[in-house]
A and B are shown apart, each in its own frame.
With several copies, the nearest count.
Chain A
């Protein structure tokens, strides 16, 4: 199967390229980057040296393929949708353009009118664990936000089963890495300023909260703090469960909802160094690790992912595998490194 990556110079596009170059059922046809057209892809993605001799193409040179991955800055996929839909039956978009089903919600959070509201129902939200059946017949997938993915996957079974008491507020706090900001340098990402930070960069008003509300059916009070980390997210969520719910019920719910999911692991152990989810162990893998602890009927849920993998490129490849009928773990078998 032939695929191309549009906007392949960024961290998300580069991670997609790394996965797709070694994917058993896929051949990467073109990678585009307007700014870097004609340059070798390894100039931006040095880990791919000796893996590929491809050069960046321009969007105008796009040829027909079976699936196009779009990793452009926000609103670009919306503006150029037609250029992609005529060249591939299937599209996986990593941006936020087609995540929110309601155009009004989109306008509220992204400050601009949605250009193709009629297309929104055709896009399936990117968490495979929540939308597998729809993806099997879908043509278009919208990759979910990284913070949203970590929060949604941690909490979804509790809301789906009705254990969570939505009369109480749900608070979720993400500890994030610097790669979330992409590869454009800024004052704030200047090493002497960023190194060693514990920076409350979004105490409130983070856009991903909109996706959490959409997928969980309840508002989530979300805050993000960036820490000394490049890849990785650890979300710590605080909520209440209904009267009489015991720890065993929580285990049962996660087992029922996630039982044989290939990329979810429940991590709640009494020994060893890593007893709860640890993001650094997940670097390069498509895992979401989930742990929890109870305190009366208060529940704390911890979920960890690699924001560039389960939070972006890995999730996109997983969704493509489902959409195209490949085995779900194709190209996503990396186990992660320890120590790291």
Chain B
């Protein structure tokens, strides 16, 4: 089981995911980079500026 670093949601990586692949956390939607069999880290997503 992998754990999302942002929200702590635990989930099974889809079977054919490879290292370096970007997936999104089912619960908080953060973009995660697969770093190992059951490990992910937050993918460097540039925060779009709203210009508000």
Known: A248-B6, A251-B7. A266 touches B28 (CB 8 A): yes
Residue of A nearest to B29 (CB): A269
Residues of B within 8 A of A248 (CB): 5-8
Contact of A270 with B47 in the complex, beta carbons under 8 Å: yes
For chain B, residues 1 to 52, give those with C-beta under 8 angstroms from any C-beta of chain A. Answer: 5-9, 24, 26-31, 45, 47-48
- B contacts with A: majority SS: loop
Is A252's beta carbon under 8 Å from chain B? yes
**Contact (Cβ within 8 A) A255 B27:** yes
Give the distance in Å from the alpha carbon of A271 to the alpha carbon of B8 in the complex. Answer: 20
Q: In the complex where A270-B45, A271-B45 touch, is A251 in contact with B27 (Cβ < 8 A)? A: yes
Q: Which of A247, A249, A271 is B6 in contact with, Cβ under 8 Å?
A: A247
Q: Whole-angstrom distance between the alpha carbons of A40 and B25 in the complex?
A: 11
Contact assessment for A251 and B29 in the assembled complex, using a CB-CB cutoff below 8 Å: no
Total A-B contacts with CB atoms under 8 angstroms apart: 33
User: What 1/0 flags go to A266-292 for Cβ under 8 Å of B?
Assistant: 101111000000000000000000000
- Name the contact of B8 in the complex, choosing from A40, A252, A268 (C-beta under 8 A): A252
Residue numbers in A under 8 Å from B26 (CB-CB): 53
For B30, the chain A residues whose CB sits under 8 A away are 270
Cα distance A40–B48 in the bound complex, in angstroms: 17
A57 → chain B closest CB, angstroms:
16
Not counting A248-B6, A268-B28, a sample of 19 additional A-B residue pairs whose C-beta atoms are within 8 angstroms of each other reads A40-B24, A40-B29, A247-B6, A247-B7, A248-B7, A248-B8, A251-B6, A251-B7, A251-B8, A251-B9, A251-B27, A251-B28, A252-B7, A269-B29, A270-B30, A270-B45, A270-B48, A271-B45, A271-B47
A interface with B by C-beta (< 8 Å): 40, 53, 247-249, 251-252, 255, 266, 268-271
Mark B residues whose CB is within 8 Å of A. 5-9, 24, 26-31, 45, 47-48
